[in-house]
Amino acid sequence: MARRDSGASSQRLVAVTLDEDSIGRSNPDVDHERAVAIYDLLEDNVFAPNGHDKGPYELKLSIVDNRLVFDIRDAKGEPVMTHILSLTPFRRIVKDYFMICDSYYQAIRRASPSQIEAIDMGRRGLHDEGSRLLMERLQRKVKVDFDTARRLFTLICVLHWKG
């Protein structure tokens, strides 16, 4: 579990855990993406469960039966809510994102800077699309800003990765 001090706002995450049973085998690139996403997420985020203002919050993400489970707790570990999202709407974006990430990691080892930049633009575009979808799917239960949604989308991809 990664943890940060609560900072000024109570409407934020101070701890994020990925369910180890949900994480498939991964490679160093995926491990790095996960570590950076969690670090960045804890450094700067907006996370506010609707109808609850007793943050900051801890989040455990897991995948159960093709559903993304948000287990949200307060900083004392007391349950706030569990929100479950179907992963079906994310399936195409995640698949395309994995394909372009594979191309990107291969390109950074042997392609020209202009080829790397073009692939990276496509990668960022898909990442933004997944982030907007996540914000939309969470809006009735949890308020997040775009940067928080981007980092959470990265973690969703890590949970999807099956080596």
Tokens of 66: 């093709």
pLDDT score, position 135: 97
pLDDT at 163: 44
> In angstroms, rounded to a whole number, what is the distance separating the alpha carbons of residues 24 and 12?
28
Residue 101 is predicted with a pLDDT of 85
Mean pLDDT (10-residue bins), the chain, 163 residues: 57 92 69 85 95 93 92 95 95 92 89 93 95 96 96 86 54
pTM (two decimals): 0.85
- Please name which of 79, 37, 83 lies closest in space to residue 58, comparing C-alpha atoms: 79
Torsion-angle region of residue 72: left (phi > 0), alpha (psi -120 to 50) or beta? beta
The SS3 call for residue 33 is: helix
3: enclosing H helix or E strand: strand 2-3
CA dihedral 24, 120, 147, 133 (to 10 degrees): -70
For residue 90, the SS3 value is: helix
Spell out the residues 6+ positions from residue 83 whose beta carbon is closer than 8 angstroms to its own.
69, 70, 72, 138, 141, 142
